[in-house]
Structure 1
Amino acid sequence: MRIFVFALLFCFSTSLAGAQPVPDLGPEAAPPSAEDFNPLTEDLPEEGGKVAVGEGDPDEEQDKLDELFADLAEAEDPKAAARIARNIQIMWMESGSATVDVLMSRAGKAIQAEDHALALDLLDVVVILKPSFAEGWNRRATVHYMREEFGKSLVDIERTLALEPRHWGALSGLAIIQRRLGFEGDALETFRRALEVNPGLENAVKAIEDLEKDAEGEPT
């Protein structure tokens, strides 16, 4: 993964040097919006300046997460799948540190206010305090992407996937950047990986269809 990411970074810097325009990939590849961070401030309510977090056994929590992923892969009802995916995301947000959770909540509010600089300052502290917290790296990767700092986003995506290879948000982000850099084959494979983890990703389905048509030489 590390070699691949830095290969992407090299190609990305080369494309910038050549002043190549970034293609418009349509809505499925659009940067995340502030509305995507609404759950961040709702899932972990602040109480007396602190965020309420669980203190469960890490092994038990991992087992629960594994069960949820298994249920998600087998879910046939879209509403049930959405509930399972939501539960996984809520578990991803549980860092085990009240300080980190407060910083994550404030970073989410900063993103909603379109204050990306403040969000990055907060998330920089998050990844320093809790480097094993995959969601901290993922959120910072997302903000970098929103700022079109794709190289920095790739580095944080790598860290996210090293900690949680099943993180469909990080996989989707990687696929989008791969596609923007012209690595359509790699993007197709990464979107497929994301869809295997979470079959309910409609944007991934659309992107896969478009990339497969492009690979066959058909107009999208």
Structure 2
Amino acid sequence: MRLSFALVLICGPAFAACPAPPDIAGELTQLFEKSRSASNFQQGQSLSNKMWEVWLRAPDDAAQEVLNRGLRKRDAFDFVGALADFDRLVTYCPAYAEGYNQRAYILYLREDYENALVDLDIALELQPLHVAAQSGRALTLMKLGRIPEARAQLLVAVENNPWLSEAALLAKGAPLEPVGEDI
């Protein structure tokens, strides 16, 4: 780790300021359009992965290092360590939606749904086209028993990316199945 990273990670934003995240709306809109016209699962998943590449692109090297470290800890089931890194990331880069989205995921895994929802709302305020935050918000609302809101949120996410695995929750007989359909 270079010294500049160390100063930012140890001292925090007092010594450095996180730059504003770039505008990624155009890039995501193109990926959504391609996703909607994908002809098979493999194409759809490839486009979903490209969306993740966009969301996981941090505003600077210091933020990227904290994000990557938190993701490694999350993947190793070190949720306490991951949460600490994502806390650090949102403190350093409060305008970067992915920090909130990742922290929300850890909170969701810890069954702290109310706080996960707060972070997902912030993530979506910062980046309304964050499909993973949209689907995460739907899952969180479902866990909170707010089924109509969960269904509406998931419909938005699936409209943006029809290849989401969570789309299965909208099928007939599934927890978020559409209501009021004629038989």
TM-score by length of 2: 0.78
* Partner residue, 1:176: 139
1:91 partnered with 2:54: yes
Report the Cα distance in structure 2 between the residues aligned to 1:122 and 1:110, rounded to whole angstroms: 9
The DSSP-based 3-state class of the residue aligned with 1:85 is helix
Maintained 8 Å contact 1:78/1:200:
yes
Aligned AA (2:99): G
Q: Percent identity?
A: 27
1:140 to 85, 99, 103: 103
Report the Cα distance in structure 2 between the residues aligned to 1:99 and 1:115, rounded to whole angstroms: 21
Aligned AA (1:85): S
* Partner residue, 2:115: 152
1:163 to 126, 129, 134: 126
Cα RMSD over matched residues?
2.6
The DSSP-based 3-state class of the residue aligned with 2:104 is helix
Deviation at 1:190, TM superposition (A): 1.3
TM-score by length of 1: 0.66
Report the Cα distance in structure 1 between the residues aligned to 2:176 and 2:22, rounded to whole angstroms: 40
* Partner residue, 1:35: none
* Partner residue, 2:70: 107
Deviation at 1:215, TM superposition (A): 4.0
Deviation at 1:89, TM superposition (A): 0.7
Maintained 8 Å contact 1:134/1:160:
yes
* Partner residue, 2:151: 188
* Partner residue, 2:14: none
Which contiguous aligned blocks of 4+ residues in structure 1 show a shift greater than 6 angstroms? none
**Runs of at least 5 residues in structure 2 that lack an aligned partner in the other structure:** 6-20
Deviation at 1:203, TM superposition (A): 2.5
**Runs of at least 5 residues in structure 1 that lack an aligned partner in the other structure:** 1-45, 51-56
Distance 1:211 1:114, change over 3 A: closer
